[in-house]
Structure 1
Amino acid sequence: MGPMVMSGSGESIVFVHGHPGDESWLTGGTIARLNGDGATSLVLYEADAESDGSLAPAVGATVTAALGELGVTRWRGLPAASAAERGLADALTEALAEEWATAVVIGTVSDALRLDATAAAHAARLPVFLCRRVADAAVQRLVAIDVSDHLEQKLRALAHFPSRWQVEGTAVTVAGGPTAPVSGSEAFARLDPPRTLQAAEVPTTMLNRVLAGVLGVLAGVTFGVLGTLAHQSAAVIGPVTIPVGLILALVAVSALLVGLRLVLGNRTVALLAATGLLITIFLLSLRGAGGSVLVPAGLTGTLWTVVPALVAALVLAWPKIPTRR
C-alpha cells in the first residue's frame, strides 16, 4: 500500500466504514497485518440519518469483540452529516488530528461521507485508500495487500456478525445471498493529496523574466568592473610572477556564466549577463579622457579582453542537457 501504510511501526491509520462488519469483510486482513507490524488503528462508522453516531449496546459489544480479533481496541460512530453545522466534516478532521493519522482507508460508505473523508484527509496532506475488489485490478490500477497470514483473524472477526453472514471454513455465505470465498488479499485504490507547485514549478511571468534579465545585466556589469580593476594584480614569488588578479577574475566570470546557464536552464539570462560583461570590459579598456588606461596592452590585458568572450561563446553554444524525469 505504499510507504505511508505498509511500514507498520509508527503508522496511525483511520478506517472509515459504513456499517459494523464492513471493516472485517473489506479490510480485516489489512487491519490485522498493520496492527501486527506495530501500527495503530481507529475505526469510524457512518451514522444512520438523524443518528448521533452512537450504536446500540449489543451492537457495540459485537463490534468490540470483532475488532479485538484484529488487534483493534478503539472505534467510534460518526455524527450524522449536518449541512448547517458541518458536524461530520468537523468530526473527521478532529479524528485525524487526534490520531496523528498517516493515512485514511475508506470502505463502502455514502457519497457524502466519502467526499468529506477524502477532503479532510487531503486537507491534512494524507493519502486516501479506497477499498476495491481484487478482480477490479484488471481494469484499474490497484494496490493488492497480501493478508494470507492473517486470514484466520479475519474469519474470526467475520464470525461475530452472524446476522449478516455465516462463516464456513474459508467461505462466507451472505444472509439471503451467495457464498463467496474469503480471499487472502485485499485491494485498494490510492488517492494522493493534490500536489502543490514547488518553487521551480511556478509558472514564469513576464515580470519575472524582465527582472531576471535586468539582474543578469547588472551581474555582468559588476563582474566586468571588478575584474577589470583586479586583473592586473600579481603576486611575485621569487623569479615567478603569478597573475592572481587575472586568474581570479576569469574564474569568477566563468562561474557566473556557467552558473546562470545551469541554474536557470536557458540561455537568455546568461546571454544578457555576457552582454553586460563584455560591453563593460570593452568600455573600460578604452583610453580615458586623462589618458589613463585600465586595460594596458600586454598579455594580461589581452587575455582579459579575449578569454571572457570565448567563455561566453562556449557557455551559450553548449547544448542543453535534458533533465531526467
Structure 2
Amino acid sequence: MSKAPATRPERVLIVHAHPDDETLSSGGTIATLLERGAEVTVLTATRGERGEMLTEQLAPLAGDPARVARHRETEIAAALAALGGPQHLWLGGRGARPTDLPERRYVDSGMQWGPDGRATAADDAPTDSLTAADLGEVVDDVRAAIRSTGADAVISYADDGGYGHPDHVRMHHAAQYAARAEEVPFSMIVDPASGQADVTVDVLPVRAKVRAAVEQYRSQVAVDPVDPADPSALSWVMPHGVRQHAPAVEAFRHDAAPQPTAPQTYAEMSGQGKAAAVVVSLLLGLLAGGLGTVTHQQTIGAFPVGLVVTTLIVLGLTVGVRLVYRSRAMVAAVGIGILVATQVLVSVGGESSPLVLANAAGYVWTFAPAVIAALVLAWPDLSGLRSRTAPGRE
C-alpha cells in the first residue's frame, strides 16, 4: 500500500476537506495505523466555516465564519487526540504550502442537497473558497504536504467525494494528482459493501477511540448512546437527519495506473513541462501580437476585417489555454507575448509608426488584448462546479 523502507515506520498522509471528515470516514484507520507504529498526518483543507451548529449552546456561532472556524479547530484537535494524536496540517499553511509562496487559508465552499439526496455546489460559494481556488495551486499545496511529511502513501476520497460534496471532490482530484506527481501510492475511501475494495481495515478493535473522536464533533453530529447489547456499535445522526452507522471495516481502493491523456492540465505537468508550456505560450503570444499589429488596420470596404480576426485570435488563444490547461500562468505568458510584440513593432516606427495608427482600430488593438487577457486571468477555476439545486449543509 506504500513505499516505506523497512528501516523506518510507514508514513501516511490522509487528506480531507473539513474537520470531522477524517473521523467519520477514516477514523478507525487512523487509530489503527497509529497503534501499529505508523506516522500518520491528517491534512485538512478548510475549517468547515459553513457547517451548521447543531446544539443550542453552539447555535449563536452559526453564520459567523470566523467563530465557527475557531470552534471547529478545537473540535478537530480534540478528535485527533482521541484517535491517538496524528500530526495535523492545514492546507495552505506551514508544511502544506510551497516554501516560496505566502501561506493562505482555503474556505469551506458550502453545499446544497440535490433532488437525488446527494450534495451539489452551493450557489454562494465565497471567492476564497476551496472550489474557487485554482486546482493547480491546491495540487501544489498537497504536494508540499507529501514532501514535508515524507509520506509513503496518500489516502483521500473516491472521485465522487463520498456523497458529492464539491470540496470532497476537489480534494480527491488534488490528492490524486499530487500523489501521482510525487510518485506516491494513492488510495481512495470506498464503501465496504461496494465490492470495490482492494484493502480493508478491521476497525472494531479501536472502536472506543473512534467513538471518543466522533463525540468531539458536537456541532456536526448527534452520537447515539452506547447500546448495552452491542457495545461495539456506533452510529450518529447527521444535520439533515440521516443516521449513519460506523462500519466494522474501513475500505480502500488503490488508484489504477493513470492512462496517458492529451492534453495534460498545467497542474499535471512536471516542472520542466510547466516551463516549456509557459515558453510556448509566450511564443504564441508573440506570434499573435505580431500578426495583429501588422494586420489590424486591414479592411474590406468599411468592415475592419483585420481587427476582428486578430481580436478573435487573441480571444480564442487565451480562452482556449485557460479552458484546456486550466493555467493562469500560460494565459499570462500569452498576454505578455502579445504586448511585447506590439510594443516592439510600434517602437520601430517611433511616434509616426505606420503599424498602429491613432484611429479607432489602433486604439482597440492597443488595449483589447490586455483587457481580454486580464478578464481570462480573473475568472475563477470552474473545474469544481457541479449542478446546483436546493439549499443545505457545510
Give the alignment's TM-score, normalised by structure 2: 0.43
Residue ranges of structure 1 left out of the alignment (5+ in a row): 197-325
Structure 1 segment 275-294 matched on structure 2, within 5 A: none
Find the residue that maps to 2:188 and give its secondary structure.
strand
CA distance in 2, matches of 1:74, 1:105: 15
Aligned to 1:114: 172
- Give the C-alpha shift of residue 58 in structure 1: 2.1
Find the residue that maps to 1:175 and give its secondary structure.
coil
- Give the C-alpha shift of residue 175 in structure 1: 2.9
Does the aligned pair in 1 maintain the 2:16–2:171 contact within 8 Å?
A: no
Aligned to 1:37: 36
Residue ranges of structure 2 left out of the alignment (5+ in a row): 51-65, 93-105, 107-129, 162-166, 227-233, 261-394
User: Is the counterpart of residue 63 in structure 1 residue 67 in structure 2?
Assistant: no
CA distance in 1, matches of 2:3, 2:73: 30
Aligned to 2:300: none
User: Is the counterpart of residue 188 in structure 1 residue 252 in structure 2?
Assistant: yes
CA distance in 1, matches of 2:71, 2:207: 26
Aligned to 1:157: 213
Comparing 39-48 with 9-18, greater Cα deviation is found at 39-48
Aligned to 1:123: 181
- Give the C-alpha shift of residue 186 in structure 1: 0.4
CA distance in 2, matches of 1:63, 1:75: 9
Does the aligned pair in 2 maintain the 1:144–1:187 contact within 8 Å?
A: yes
Comparing 27-36 with 116-125, greater Cα deviation is found at 116-125
CA distance in 2, matches of 1:8, 1:186: 27
Find the residue that maps to 2:75 and give its secondary structure.
helix
Candidates 220, 229, 235, aligned match of 1:171: 235
Aligned to 2:145: 95
> Structure 1's 96 and 55: CA in aligned 2 closer, same or farther, altered over 3 A?
farther
Deviations 1:21-58 (Å, cap 9, x if unpaired)?
0111100000000011111111112237999x998332
- Give 1:115's aligned amino acid: H
> Structure 1's 175 and 99: CA in aligned 2 closer, same or farther, altered over 3 A?
same
Bigger helix fraction: 1
CA distance in 2, matches of 1:85, 1:143: 29
- Give 1:14's aligned amino acid: L
- Give the C-alpha shift of residue 120 in structure 1: 0.9
> Structure 1's 8 and 119: CA in aligned 2 closer, same or farther, altered over 3 A?
farther
Find the residue that maps to 1:56 and give its secondary structure.
helix
- Give the C-alpha shift of residue 194 in structure 1: 4.4
Deviations 1:145-192 (Å, cap 9, x if unpaired)?
111101111111000011221222222222342323322210111115
> Structure 1's 58 and 146: CA in aligned 2 closer, same or farther, altered over 3 A?
same
- Give the C-alpha shift of residue 112 in structure 1: 3.0
Does the aligned pair in 1 maintain the 2:47–2:73 contact within 8 Å?
A: no
User: Is the counterpart of residue 19 in structure 1 residue 69 in structure 2?
Assistant: no
- Give 1:171's aligned amino acid: S
Aligned to 2:334: none
Aligned to 2:87: 74
Find the residue that maps to 1:160 and give its secondary structure.
coil
Aligned length: 191
CA distance in 2, matches of 1:43, 1:121: 15
Greater RCO structure (CA 8 Å; 6+ sep): 2
Does the aligned pair in 2 maintain the 1:54–1:77 contact within 8 Å?
A: no
